[in-house]
Chains A and B, each alone.
Chain A
Amino acid sequence: MGTNSKAPKQNYVTAPAAPTEAETAAEPAAEEPSEAAPVTAEQQAAMDSFADAVAFAEIIAANGYLKDDDSLQMPIPEVAEDTWENYQQFAEQVHLALAAVEEMKAAGAPAADIEAKLAELKAQSLAYLDKLDASEMRMIADNLGFEHSALISEKPLRFWINPVYPTAIEQKAKIQMCAFNRYALLQSGETVMGMTLADLHAIEGTPGPDAQPGMWAASPAQVEQLAQEAADSVAAFKSLNPLAVQGHFTAALAAEQKLASAYCPEDPAAAQALQNKVKVQIDQIVGGANFKAHATEAIAAAIAEGKLGAEEAKHLTAAEAVALIRPQTPFAEAELIKARAQERQQQLAVLKTAQELHAKGSTGIGAPVQLGALGGGSAEENAAAQAHVAAWVTNAGELKDLQKNALTWIGQSQHSPQERTAALGPTLETYDLAKAFKDWAKPQPLPELRAVAEKLGMPNPGTASRAHVQDYLVAHFSEYVDKDAVVAKAADAAQKKALAKSTKSAAAATPTSNAPTAAGATPATALAAAAASAAVLVPNGAGVSGASVPPSAAPSSPAAAAAPPARKSYRDKHASMIAALKLAQATHADIPKRVEASEVQGWAFGPGKSAHHLGGSHPKSLHQAPDGSTWMFKHYDVDSTARAQAEAAASHAFHLGGVPAVPVYVNKVNGKTGCIQPMLKNASHLSSDPKSWTQPEVDSMVRYHVAAWLVGDHDGKPENFLRTASGGLVPIDQGQAFKFFGRDKLSLGYSPSNGAIVPVHQRAYNAFLNGGLAEGVTVKPAAAHPVIKQFESIPDSQWRALLHRTAHDGAKAGVTWSGAMRRRAAKSLGKAEKDVTTSEVAEAFLDHACERKNGLRAAFAGFFTKDLKIAAGAALKHGG
């Protein structure tokens, strides 16, 4: 297909339509082509091809007429008038344009130019599709192989037929899967999208199903019997004790498989209705709380029968593997899952290679870095040594990311714990590795280190100090060091050094002269330049290199930040929010390091951006810290200072006890006092299904329980936890800390919310008592010991100091706990409650806090032995 009559490209000036708001939000803004580098012949050829394709697409879209010159109205006879053929012609030009963009990439065209071309093409394609009505879109989708397009509304369908996006992408597969799901519901008798199955068949003009190859002829009685067998198995699964239902899920799947391959010539419609009814019944089991334990058996059976590859299954989650076993899983979904399994296999293979390369320089956590000596050889030998170090440093960064990626899925896969550990290898502790690397680098010749830095892209390494060069190299693998900030600091230091040198030499040569310095500027202007350079060290709102972006380009200006989001559709609103979040390129630390609160108070966070779309009851905003990381500020509508003090104190207490927690600080932003905390990146939420929890996670919950009890936080539901990239658990919200202090209880059934909130440790204990934890996972009282010991080591004086503001601000504000503490103070002081001062209430709070801290060991020993009936819990009393 094609027009076969390509006119010179200069005759067709393209005028892409403006993208929609949603498209604009979803796509990066097109930028002007870069002027930095000259355009090569290869790049020009690719750009010409792109221009040709875009021009012809424009003509096709205009049905053969040039839109930009009405006087011509030149018909292009080859352009099809038929909608389907016209679409095919248009799509072909889009694909040619995409191929041209790939050629541009291969020819080394600047990323900004490529981005601009893609944005132009997307806008053009969207404008073309916008002109199609619903029936035309459905016809095109049907012709492209989409099944049941009537069950999908126009927006996703338009995305699905958009030729700019490849057919095989996950997003398109999901849209098709959605149509299949809705079709299955229709077949089971439900009404979907306002229509019945009969309505859909009328729209599609399709009768009931025909026999397919591989199906067996079943009588209505056989079909009914199979459906009943499946229903019985499902019912048994749902009604029995979780521990006693092995076999029922596998049986239900087997019945579903047999039923799905049955064709009932006597009553095909009834048979298909039963098939889909069974499918829906089993769908409802998949994803439930007890599903994973039973899926294992079904997966093993499918592997034994050759229905599922063992290696493939190993890289899938239980739900994914079961979806592959099931006969009615749509083809697109099955292909998607298979592709995931392959991709994960490849991830692990790449990870293994990276581990092997890493081992050549470091044998593990705490081991010295051994990369040999730099310099001292021939030019070739020196260059090879530099390249080796550069490759090792780069690989270390990649290894860290590869481990993090694998951690997002491997815990849910069918790998055994041993296989998982072997596949992941030792966790890369970048903080320790950076130290070891610097120990290695210290005696290396500076020019050699600079050469390595230059190979890795450091600008002007010749003027950088040893510290800056080392930091630059470390930044390639450590999330604690920002590469752009190092470059900026190095440039600043070099400039200051040059300025000092030139000032000194100028003063020595002409002590009374105002003549320009050797650097070409007077000291005053050079100082101004240095000041300007320092100013751009403060990261801008985009979180990109502060050194390369002029201050005026920083998008975090008050006007921009204060612009309220327009009221639009769900998609538009959240696209806007997500675009803002994406801009925030914070450092990727598992858990950001805790710094002194006084230091944070000195930071300027700027006006920030409203983050009310993040949900929650308290107003939030996102801010850039001076180190470029993104922080979230939250303030409470009532008693904000007191509550912020409590939340920050709880976070600090967790830190002192060695329990992971996001550092929270009290701060004043835009005149309001509240909590500010860094965003925790690369973490995922914790499933609330205890069966999915690993032993290290349950141990973390036990440790968390100690800290939560210490600060009286009973809000530790699973939704308040994140799984970090390294596999740890981090609580993210201590906003309820101390709320019920003084009247709360350390007991299994205690719930100040009357059972509405079940903290994660309570769930773990309940699951432990009811056999609801995964096989081999248990509650170990010993896990609590190190945390108790840490808390015991905090002197009362330090503990009182840490809680001083929480106590006094809370007492003044009369927060929830103040009533209990007032009663306590009244009793101990022998006064009437009304006569107790706020200061005495605060002191009662502090006394109680110390009592609780000092009684942790006895309290938890009692809890584990009495509430959980774990005799080993008594040993906690004797731990030293």
Chain B
Amino acid sequence: MNDQNLPRVSAPHPTPLPAAGSPGAADNAPATPWRVWAMTVWHPQLAAAVAPVGVLAVEGGASDPEVVYATWVPGVYEEADSWRIRLAEAPVSAAVLDQWAQDDSTLGLLPADVPPQAVDLAHAAELVLDEILAGDLLATGAGGV
């Protein structure tokens, strides 16, 4: 584990993360498409990786993302650690995203539609987080969260 990566691993707060492409701020309309996913962990009762713990958003279409942003479901603690550590361990590249999205594992990356009213990437992620919070069914997840 590289300690230098730890600042990128946040608890309840949204996190600007290192991207494989050149970093930069998300300004207004996206120069390249945004993509947003719900980060999920294993749901013990449903036996599938469908318990959302956060939202991951990237700017950069199918190429390596230029900006990566993560935000977390409040009140989710250790359950989200695997995702936090996963994000801290390596820059988020297109290949890594593809691998995560295709992975048959206990962590899931489930695609969400980009909210049309989002003014920047972070806003898009936060709006999807709001979608998760608005769903009483989906906010119940692993470990009694």
Report if B68 contacts A (CB, 8 A): no
Report if A174 contacts B (CB, 8 A): yes
- Contacting residues of chain B (41-76) with chain A, CB-CB under 8 angstroms: 41-50, 73-75
User: Given A284-B15, A409-B143, does the pair A570, B113 have CB atoms closer than 8 Å?
Assistant: yes
Which one of A451-459, A470-478, A548-556, A713-721 is at the interface?
A713-721
0/1 interface trace, chain A 575-588, chain B, CB 8 Å (1 if under) = 10111011000100
Partner of A178, one of B82, B118, B129, B142: B129
0/1 interface trace, chain B 105-145, chain A, CB 8 Å (1 if under) = 11111111100001110110011111111111111101111
Cα(A569)–Cα(B112), bound, Å: 7
B82 and A184 form a contact (CB under 8 A): no
Residues of A within 8 A of B127 (CB): 153, 193
Cα(A182)–Cα(B71), bound, Å: 10
Residues of B within 8 A of A26 (CB): 135-137
A689 and B4 form a contact (CB under 8 A): no
Report if A140 contacts B (CB, 8 A): no
B48 and A581 form a contact (CB under 8 A): yes
User: Given A284-B15, A581-B47, does the pair A684, B142 have CB atoms closer than 8 Å?
Assistant: yes
Residues of B within 8 A of A22 (CB): 135
A571 and B143 form a contact (CB under 8 A): no
Residues of A within 8 A of B75 (CB): 170, 173-174, 177, 333, 336
Which one of A155-163, A487-495, A828-836, A840-848 is at the interface?
A155-163
Residues of A within 8 A of B43 (CB): 581
Residues of B within 8 A of A688 (CB): 81-82, 85-86
Residues of A within 8 A of B102 (CB): 615-617
Residues of A within 8 A of B131 (CB): 155, 569-571
Question: Which residue on A lies nearest to B98, using beta carbons?
Answer: A617
Report if B31 contacts A (CB, 8 A): no
Report if B88 contacts A (CB, 8 A): yes
Residues of B within 8 A of A180 (CB): 74
A194 and B119 form a contact (CB under 8 A): yes
Cα(A242)–Cα(B86), bound, Å: 18
Residues of B within 8 A of A575 (CB): 135, 137-138
Q: Name the distance in Å between A74's Cβ and chain B's nearest Cβ.
A: 36
Report if B30 contacts A (CB, 8 A): no
Partner of A682, one of B45, B78, B139: B45
Residues of A within 8 A of B29 (CB): none
Question: Which residue on B lies nearest to A152, using beta carbons?
Answer: B130
Chain A interface size, as a band, is 35 or more
- Contacting residues of chain B (1-20) with chain A, CB-CB under 8 angstroms: 1, 3-4, 6-15
Report if A192 contacts B (CB, 8 A): yes
User: Given A184-B13, A685-B42, does the pair A340, B144 have CB atoms closer than 8 Å?
Assistant: yes
A581 and B46 form a contact (CB under 8 A): yes
Partner of B113, one of A25, A320, A569: A569
Partner of B105, one of A289, A577, A719: A719
Partner of A685, one of B46, B49, B109, B119: B49
Cα(A582)–Cα(B135), bound, Å: 15
A289 and B133 form a contact (CB under 8 A): no
0/1 interface trace, chain B 77-96, chain A, CB 8 Å (1 if under) = 11011101110101000001
B50 and A581 form a contact (CB under 8 A): yes
Residues of B within 8 A of A682 (CB): 44-45
Cα(A221)–Cα(B3), bound, Å: 31
Q: Name the distance in Å between B113's Cβ and chain A's nearest Cβ.
A: 6
Q: Name the distance in Å between A42's Cβ and chain B's nearest Cβ.
A: 30
Q: Name the distance in Å between A298's Cβ and chain B's nearest Cβ.
A: 14
B106 and A287 form a contact (CB under 8 A): no
0/1 interface trace, chain A 715-758, chain B, CB 8 Å (1 if under) = 00111111001000000110100000000000000000000100
Report if A520 contacts B (CB, 8 A): no
B82 and A687 form a contact (CB under 8 A): yes
Cα(A718)–Cα(B3), bound, Å: 20
Report if A285 contacts B (CB, 8 A): yes
A240 and B3 form a contact (CB under 8 A): yes
Cα(A586)–Cα(B46), bound, Å: 10
Report if A345 contacts B (CB, 8 A): no
User: Given A193-B126, A242-B3, A333-B75, does the pair A719, B107 have CB atoms closer than 8 Å?
Assistant: yes
Cα(A681)–Cα(B42), bound, Å: 10
Cα(A84)–Cα(B122), bound, Å: 33
Q: Name the distance in Å between B10's Cβ and chain A's nearest Cβ.
A: 4
User: Given A174-B75, A284-B11, A685-B49, does the pair A571, B82 have CB atoms closer than 8 Å?
Assistant: no
A155 and B73 form a contact (CB under 8 A): no
Question: Which residue on B lies nearest to A169, using beta carbons?
Answer: B136
B9 and A287 form a contact (CB under 8 A): yes
Q: Name the distance in Å between A146's Cβ and chain B's nearest Cβ.
A: 13
Question: Which residue on A lies nearest to B127, using beta carbons?
Answer: A153
Cα(A180)–Cα(B123), bound, Å: 16
User: Given A170-B75, A317-B77, does the pair A194, B50 have CB atoms closer than 8 Å?
Assistant: no
Report if A686 contacts B (CB, 8 A): yes
Question: Which residue on B lies nearest to A188, using beta carbons?
Answer: B13
Residues of B within 8 A of A806 (CB): none
Cα(A159)–Cα(B118), bound, Å: 21
Residues of B within 8 A of A717 (CB): 105
Cα(A611)–Cα(B47), bound, Å: 12
Residues of A within 8 A of B109 (CB): 615
Residues of chain B touching chain A, judged by Cβ–Cβ distance below 8 Å, are 1, 3-4, 6-15, 38, 40-50, 73-75, 77-78, 80-82, 84-86, 88, 90, 96, 99, 101-113, 118-120, 122-123, 126-140, 142-145
> Could you give 27 example pairs across A and B, Cβ below 8 Å?
A152-B133, A153-B126, A156-B134, A171-B140, A174-B139, A177-B12, A182-B126, A185-B14, A194-B119, A238-B3, A287-B9, A287-B11, A287-B80, A320-B77, A340-B144, A570-B112, A575-B137, A581-B46, A614-B108, A615-B102, A616-B105, A617-B104, A682-B44, A685-B142, A720-B104, A756-B99, A772-B1
Further pairs besides A181-B12, A725-B44: 7, Cβ < 8 Å: A170-B145, A181-B13, A284-B7, A317-B77, A614-B48, A689-B81, A719-B82
Please give me the 8 A-B residue pairs with the lowest Cβ-Cβ distance, nearest first.
Answer: A617-B102, A685-B106, A719-B105, A177-B74, A570-B112, A155-B134, A319-B77, A685-B42
